[in-house]
Structure 1
Amino acid sequence: MSDSEFETAPLPPEQLDEDDRLKPEFVRNVIDRVEAGDAAGARELVEPLHPADVADLFELVSPEQRRALAAAVADLLDGDVFSEMNDWVREELIDALEPHEVADIAGQLETDDAVALIEDLEEDEQRAVLRALDPDDRAAIEEALTFPEESAGRLMQRDLIAVPEHWNVGQVIDYLRATEGLTTDFWEVFVVDPQHHPVGTIQLSWILRTPRHIPMSDLMKREQTLIPVDMDQEEVALRFQKYALISAAVVDHAGRLVGMITVDDIVHIIQQEAGEDVLLLSGAGEGDINQPLRDSYQARVRWLIANLFTALVASAVIAAFGAAIEQMVALAILMPIVASIGGNAGTQTMAVAVRALATNQLTQSNTIRTIKREIAVALLNGITIAVLVGVGAALVFSNPQLGAVIAAAMLINILIAGLAGVLVPVLLERLDQDPAVASSVFVTMTTDSMGFLAFLGLAVVTGLVR
């Protein structure tokens, strides 16, 4: 965590609104000065801002204005600002910088933030930036880039405090005071054996409140949560959440301590993963308003095309009962209700199932129990909606038989929606596929086609139409 994260000086009231967002008039004022060539005036306005607010400023202006703004306040664009910036906006600005400028910014950051800064660069640009870095920073970043994306190895910080278990508290305190170049931001001291395997942790507060002669082996907490270097960041976040961790040691395949992950990084990951699942459920890709138009189009259109083909299944069911629909217009009027309610019921169950899978609440141990629970919920919902729709249809069309048919169809479709809403995500997860990616397409296809089939089929079977 950088020193800037501890800045608490409030901004002048004219810059932020009651929700701590930059006011539109302030943003316009900055851009007006930039466009008028008054770089000094723009810099004077921007300088008091916290790095996170400077990052917000760049996200709020148009892509055409960002480069001019960056030129006007170039000396304020340090590593803290870039680490707070939206990925797409940051990538756009980084592309406009020279390799040595990117290297200067990366050198100011923790290893995990520096990796995030340069990992999306083109290979030749990445090599140029790495060559311009300090050798120690370059070695750490090159090592991090060897790990899979979104893994603990990419996320971890290399700067940590590790001491041997045979030291006492006094030796640790002297080491912390006398050794140059140690990280200044840490909550725990890791205790390691001669092979550099972590054997325990000690909170900094324990060290400060314990007599100097006490051995670290007597003071340390031996139970700890170790994070494998190749663990996915989502699983890392779940461990932090489950065990209420502040920091955790990251170990390589041989069990040696190679880094640590802190809770401030995990807060970002939790937010990112939660938003990602919601967007995947809707087929909106990354869903970032700063994402280039072409990328947004490509991410969304493929799921719309997939949905088009699955919609043909429902259309085929309707076509099979074309003659029945011609005999009774009321069927065509009521069909969208069956599909809409079923689709919403399926989406509700699917959202619950995807979230449960993402948070490890739904596992192989309780899958059957979860399915039974969702069927029970669907049954209660189905009975309620069926009664309301059935009575309403019977009264509106003066046809009790029609009311009974749509009530039965509604009950059937909501039960199917509940079953599909939990089974589809579970099946995708068992096939090692992200359940958030394609669940909505399959669930919608199931509820639409089965809803039409139940409604129109019952109309024919019961003799409502022939």
Structure 2
Amino acid sequence: MSDTQLPDAEMPEDSEFDEDDRLKPEYVRAVLDAVEQGDAEGARERVEPLHPADIADLIELTPAEQRPALIDAIGELVDGDVLSEMNDWVREALIESLDPHQLAGMAAELETDDAVAIIEDMEAAGQQAVLRALDPDDRAAIEEALRYPEESAGRLMQRDLIAVPEHWTVGDVIDYLRAGEDLTTDFWEVFVVDPAHRPIGTCHLSWILRTPRMVPVGDVMKREQTLIPVDMDQEEVALRFQKYALISAAVIDDDGRLVGMITADDVVHIISQEAGEDALLLSGAGEGDINRPYLLTVRTRLSWLVVNLGTAILAASVVGLFQDEIAAFALLAVLMPIVSGMGGNAGTQTLAVVVRALATNQLASSNTWWMIVRELRIAAANGAALGMLIGAGSYLLYHNPLLSAVFAAAMVINSLVAGMGGVLVPITLERLRIDPAVSSAVFVTTLTDVMGFFSFLGLATVTGLATAG
């Protein structure tokens, strides 16, 4: 046995989690059984060792009708940190059951950005009740944050930071950090400001610790820094953190004054949230949150299904134009869904790439034409390959060279349409300031369905395939 290995009896138990670091169903069941049996103390003992994020997961995994009893049982373990980690819909339901003074106590324990996340979705009357219960300093900070647009840097930033003047020495900074009992304890860098409180540089803690005390801060700091405007959208903030590999960044107001900072832990959450939102919006599933109210989910999905019904009717009307040809050569009805279906798949691939490129600022006005040409070349290559494959397959099955040629040509045409639509539709929506993740899929699938049917049936009519068949 190595020196660091513990005897079996002393090995820490980790029975709460599975191999993917998720709470095991049997652990969740054991906690809920204790609650049902009135053993609140036993439930608290099981839950107390958990991290706040894991307690939030436990509450989310609990059926909605059992959550109030669980929260009553574990009591003070549901604090501000747990609320800040909780799913929005679950947290909103919990907040409605809490007293404003309880919420105020939780909010006061948190960083400003986390406190704002808890309060911002409340009704106006509830917000005011919580704000009145807060200390004046906390209330002023949260009220200021709530004045900024939703999903902006102003909502995301923390107010607690370390800022020092340029004329200080490293020793002055160290003494200030040691003496200031009310200073924040979670920071990675010190911001250097001018007399107007505008940031002029930044200094990592490691530089301060390794520099002699008498060296001026101005000689140690890095003057180049990434400044975040207070009204910048949180998605753009995340892109800047990703692009410049930031750990934290200063947030400035319209006059260039330092008003807060954003840290990497907040941005990681935003990146995950935005990526998930775009994927769900492309499918028309709304937020896709399993905790979202049933009727609201039905309404969101149904609205998009009704739109898709309209596009399906449009595609069907195109087929109706060629009903005589289909009646004369029934094989056309068998094969035409393949052309539209493959075009839809190709368009979805292109659409996903373009929407992601727009979201990550990889696609801009300067390289739009390059992107269009690139996707058309890809579409032509894929269409030609699929056309030859499907043409050869149809010839082996039906021994009709004209049918095979029409089938292959329609596949190439619809692949090109899919590539062009997959690029132009999201770019056009972006220029019109419409989120391309929300509406692009409907337009692209409609385009490929209509053009798939029209190209295949139109070529069949022009070439006399139906008559020959």
Shift of 1:298: 1.7
Q: Which residue does the alignment assign to 1:456?
A: 457
* Alignment root-mean-square deviation, CA: 1.0
Q: Which residue does the alignment assign to 2:294?
A: 293
The Cα offsets for residues 52-81 of structure 1, whole Å up to 9 and x where unpaired, read as 111110111111011110100111001111
Give the Cα separation in 2 of the matches to 1:211 and 1:181.
26
Give the Cα separation in 1 of the matches to 2:423 and 2:12.
48
State whether residues 11 and 49 of structure 1, in contact with CA within 8 Å, keep that contact through their aligned partners in structure 2: no
Deviates more, 1:312-321 or 1:394-403: 394-403
Q: Which residue does the alignment assign to 1:144?
A: 145
Q: Which residue does the alignment assign to 2:71?
A: 70
Q: Kindly tell me the number of residue pairs found equivalent between the two proteins.
A: 457
TM-score normalised to structure 1 length: 0.97
Q: Which residue does the alignment assign to 1:99?
A: 100
State whether residues 160 and 186 of structure 1, in contact with CA within 8 Å, keep that contact through their aligned partners in structure 2: yes
Q: Which residue does the alignment assign to 1:273?
A: 274
1:221 aligns with 2:222: yes
State whether residues 324 and 460 of structure 1, in contact with CA within 8 Å, keep that contact through their aligned partners in structure 2: yes
Amino acid at match of 1:302: S
The Cα offsets for residues 380-399 of structure 1, whole Å up to 9 and x where unpaired, read as 10011111111111221221
> Percent identical across equivalent pairs?
68
Q: Which residue does the alignment assign to 2:110?
A: 109
Q: Which residue does the alignment assign to 2:181?
A: 180
State whether residues 190 and 198 of structure 1, in contact with CA within 8 Å, keep that contact through their aligned partners in structure 2: yes
Give the Cα separation in 1 of the matches to 2:114 and 2:275.
20
SS in 2 for 1:73: helix
1:28 aligns with 2:29: yes
SS in 1 for 2:366: coil
State whether residues 159 and 182 of structure 1, in contact with CA within 8 Å, keep that contact through their aligned partners in structure 2: yes
Shift of 1:307: 1.2
Q: Which residue does the alignment assign to 1:259?
A: 260
Q: Which residue does the alignment assign to 1:247?
A: 248
Task: Output aligned runs, 1:54-93, within 5 Å.
Answer: 54-93=55-94
Give the Cα separation in 1 of the matches to 2:307 and 2:75.
45
Give the Cα separation in 2 of the matches to 1:234 and 1:62.
33
Amino acid at match of 1:247: S
SS in 2 for 1:465: helix
Q: Which residue does the alignment assign to 1:364?
A: 365
Give the Cα separation in 1 of the matches to 2:298 and 2:228.
37
Give the Cα separation in 1 of the matches to 2:160 and 2:52.
22
1:128 aligns with 2:117: no
Give the Cα separation in 1 of the matches to 2:200 and 2:219.
12
The Cα offsets for residues 439-460 of structure 1, whole Å up to 9 and x where unpaired, read as 0000000000000000000000
Q: Which residue does the alignment assign to 2:418?
A: 417
Amino acid at match of 2:40: A
Give the Cα separation in 2 of the matches to 1:327 and 1:40.
78
Shift of 1:11: 7.0
Amino acid at match of 2:37: A
Deviates more, 1:349-358 or 1:54-63: 54-63
Q: Give ranges in structure 2 of 5+ residues lacking alignment.
A: 1-10
Give the Cα separation in 1 of the matches to 2:84 and 2:337.
48
Shift of 1:370: 0.4
Shift of 1:51: 1.1
Give the Cα separation in 2 of the matches to 1:336 and 1:317.
13
Shift of 1:190: 0.2
The runs of at least 4 consecutive aligned structure 1 residues that moved more than 3 Å come to none
1:232 aligns with 2:233: yes
Shift of 1:224: 0.4
SS in 2 for 1:194: coil
Q: Give ranges in structure 1 of 5+ residues lacking alignment.
A: 1-9
State whether residues 339 and 447 of structure 1, in contact with CA within 8 Å, keep that contact through their aligned partners in structure 2: yes
Amino acid at match of 1:422: V
Amino acid at match of 2:161: L
Q: Which residue does the alignment assign to 2:5?
A: none
Shift of 1:304: 1.0
SS in 1 for 2:365: coil
Shift of 1:179: 1.5
SS in 2 for 1:365: helix
The Cα offsets for residues 276-324 of structure 1, whole Å up to 9 and x where unpaired, read as 1001100111001111111211221111111111222111100000111
TM-score normalised to structure 2 length: 0.96
